[in-house]
């Protein structure tokens, strides 16, 4: 992790009518950092992430993502980031190879780069015998690993992961986090939301949102000391207990 700032927000706010979904959040994330973005349902974290990846315009405040302004340079932001969600990441009716080629094109890679990256990725994941099979035929854990690998195919500065390990078994989750560590080691910033509090322990720093506001932001160890807790689960429950809004 370096001291280079790749995400910088200042009083970032999103309103829907009179409802303030995200209320003046200010934070920084560094190059190569694994940053956990936590919050109960309705806390505002998904709305905040949509602003950061350039698909939802803020109501007020400012932010720079990979050095680009979220009001004026959303297209540059989209080229500088990767994104993976639990709900949508791959096209199930395409083969593994076709998915890699499709997303390589979306990310602006040349045909030569796509060919090289495809071969590297298929070999790395040991999918040589499955490369021309439909993604739908893969077990969920393999889909998640493939989706993450494709999300960083173009060597983005930041990869945003929205509940990336939902529904997979603990062993696959651990393997997935090994891939996250490797990406961070290679200088990619990982910005992840998760419902699993044990995963919060794997992050360099964690922010916790309650009712649209960041109520805590520090390393897992410091947060546990601050709230006199044995686990991040306890920290989260202490903070979330005061939430006024739910799903």
Tell me the Cα Rg of the chain: 18
Ordered DSSP codes for 155-193: --SEEEEESTTTT--HHHHHHHHHHHHHHHHTT-EEEEE
pTM for the structure as a whole: 0.92
Write down the pLDDT at residue 247. 44
3 state SS of 67: coil
The low-confidence residues of the chain, meaning pLDDT below 70, are 1, 88, 245-247
Write down the pLDDT at residue 200. 92
Write down the pLDDT at residue 78. 87
Write down the pLDDT at residue 140. 86
pLDDT tens sequence across 186-204: 999 999 998 788 889 999 9
């Amino acid at each position: 992790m370096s001291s280079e700032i790749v995400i910088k927000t200042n009083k970032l706010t999103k309103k829907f009518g009179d409802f303030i979904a995200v209320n003046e959040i200010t934070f920084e994330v560094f190059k190569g950092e694994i940053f956990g973005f936590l919050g109960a349902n309705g806390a505002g974290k998904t709305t905040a992430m949509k602003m950061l990846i350039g698909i939802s315009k803020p109501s007020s405040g400012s932010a720079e993502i990979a050095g680009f302004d979220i009001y004026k340079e959303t297209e540059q932001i989209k080229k500088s980031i990767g994104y993976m969600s639990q709900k949508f990441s791959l096209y199930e009716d395409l083969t593994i190879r076709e998915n890699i080629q499709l997303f390589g094109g979306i990310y602006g890679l040349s045909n030569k780069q796509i060919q090289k990256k495809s071969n590297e990725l298929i070999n790395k994941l040991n999918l040589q015998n499955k490369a021309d099979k439909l993604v739908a035929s893969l077990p969920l854990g393999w889909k998640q690993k493939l989706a993450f690998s494709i999300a960083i195919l173009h060597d983005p500065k930041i990869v945003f992961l929205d509940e990336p390990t939902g529904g997979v078994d603990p062993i696959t989750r651990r393997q997935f986090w090994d891939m996250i560590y490797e990406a961070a080691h290679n200088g990619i910033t990982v910005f992840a939301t998760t419902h699993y509090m044990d995963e919060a322990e794997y992050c360099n720093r964690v922010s916790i949102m309650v009712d649209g506001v960041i109520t805590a932001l520090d390393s897992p160890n410091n947060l546990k000391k601050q709230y006199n807790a044995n686990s991040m689960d306890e920290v989260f429950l202490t903070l979330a207990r005061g939430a006024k809004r739910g799903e």
